[in-house]
Structure 1
Amino acid sequence: MMLRITIFLLTISLLLFSCSDDFSPSEPEPEHFSIRINELPRSIKGIVGTTQETSFYVALYNEDYTVAEDEEITITDASGIGQVTPEEAVTNEAGEVSATYQVVIPAEETTARIRVSVNNQTESDGMYLIPIRRPETIRFETIPQPFKVDLNTEAVIPVTAIVIDAGGNAVEEVNVNFRLESVGNQDAFGSVISSVATNNSGTATTTFRSFNQYGYVQLAARIDEPGFIEEVIGSLRFEIRPLYVPNSIFIQLTNDEFKISQMSPRDTTYTSIIKTIVTDENGVAIPEIPLLLNTTHGRIIDNVLNFNPEFDMEGNDPFQITITGYNPDRHVDGSAEIFVNYLDDLPSLTLGSDRLLTEADGP
């Protein structure tokens, strides 16, 4: 009987103990968040060895899509290439944390991955790190010297710079900054497109413009890339001159008549210096106009007509030599004449005889 009572009491005790375990409080389940990494670029380009920086922000939401403020998060570069600042932070009232990422551009293209961790949850996003060759030299393509522009006409001159690396390879996708500089006592004039990126041939073309301004132009170019502190500079100097429009051509001669003497050797050279004057429509003399000089007789050498009767004259009749000046650009010409006369200047010869009367002696 006592044994049954003991067993009964023991059973009741075990049941009560079991019930007390069933009603003990359980561990709370961890909170679940939605993590979003925003404004992280798909790629970062930069010159090899330069430090590049980009900004982004992390947004944290609760399961019900409300903002999760005052939550501690950790932000790291899972690839171990760059540095995130800050690495640990607390979300603000909008459930956000702003951060920056700095990285030194490697020599080979690779991928960096940003990882965000909160409450044993992680989210990550990647971006490509794209290297650009290190520029070594800037040189300019040549342009006509001097560059001539019509009066009252805008000068529009394309100027091309070429960027190359130490191995002589074209450097593409770098920004080249162009600027105009003074030359001696002459102030800089005109304008240029200040910033141009090189294409896949390593060339960057700007455009110089000016209106009725003439003189020397000094154009400088330098690499303008974030994090690139080396001074890679090139320069080009060229001259702009006014291009005058010829309207009339006048020819002046030091000798306008050749008198061919019969007393002189036939192989005698007669000369006349040729002076040309070119004027515009207002009759004002203008310089630097290209002219072609031609003659109907003789030869023109260094603006001097050389006439030799033995080779350049047929017979003894008088005639004219015509000197012509011609501008091929504007099809303007002018002429002058030299008169050639053959002189009858041989001295006359008079023949005479004296008759002597001789009386002969007889035998």
Structure 2
Amino acid sequence: MILSRPRLWPWHRGLFHKRNFTANLASSQLQEEEEHDRSEEIRLIKADLSSFLRTCRQSYHGKLLHYRLLSDGLELTAPFRSLLVLMYTNCSAFDDAHACLALLPQTLQNVFAWNFLFKALARQGLCHEAFCLYEDMVARGVVANKVTCRSMLDACISNPISSSVFLLHCLTREFGLDTDPSIGTVLANLYGRIGSLQDAAKVFDLILEKDVVSWTSMMLIYVQHGNSEMAIRLFEEMQVEAIVPDRVAFICAVTACDKPLALSKAREIHSAVVENALEADITVGTALVSMYGKYKSLTDARTTFHQMAQPNVVTWNAVIGANFQGGMETKAIYFFHRMLIEGALPNRETYINFFGACASSEGLAEAMQVL
């Protein structure tokens, strides 16, 4: 029996002998390394462009970056489509930012990119522009969210008008956000700014899970409109609800104690300040000194003053003014000298109280020494 000769495959013929195989493998590895290097280079370029867009604050430089993105075909890729909007808003080039949004394909438009511009308008207090932007966003089929509503509220806080506040209230109610603590608090402040206390109170009552900021903001609204009784009532209700007052709440409560018969209530608030370890706080202490000065309770004013380690010029003015207004001109002059010894620099209000005390106590020589 004659055996047939085995068939020779290519590698048997030496076509893929070891040397050729090694060369092909090296070529393949080199190609992979080149592709990896190219990919790494592109990644670094994208990272640099992203960093430049985030930190750019000049519109001219921003346009150069935008042109580079256009040249590289990266304008519509993530994250550059959103970073362009952010960059132009940081440069206060709101029209360019809006144009970037408007030119995006509808599939790439989202509320997060629009919110960059809404936040910028809020920082600038551009209420009318925020409403126009909202109308355009809705026309393009983009649905607003909580950030959008909050930004629009913030945009109107510096110069609110009744019609804008009403529209914003309708908007927040449409999205079910009028019961949100942060949204409801700003909305109540807007009603307070336009003098509509009743509407502000209604919005405040609808807020679910009110936090200390919500309570304090409503207290401040009442104080600003001269309704100190309601401010103090809210302060008491807040504590019943187990909300711990912060320094701003205490300052607001102390400021609300401006009625002749409220001295006992003021002392209760002072006790609460001590319980919360805020008696040494400069701002809270100054408010307490001023409050006791209004009641001519000078002993309480001085005791509170001495509890503060490093009083500032406002605190010194409070204790000097309290003694002067309370008929203790000599004490007012004494505290003025103590202020100079402590190294605090007097201001206009300091000198008004000091010269008033000198005139009342016939302290002409004291006044002449200062002059």
TM-score calculated relative to the size of structure 2: 0.18
TM-score calculated relative to the size of structure 1: 0.18
Judging by fraction of residues, say which structure has more helix.
2
Rg comparison, structure with higher value: 1
Structure number with higher relative contact order (C-alpha < 8 Å, ≥ 6 residues apart): 1
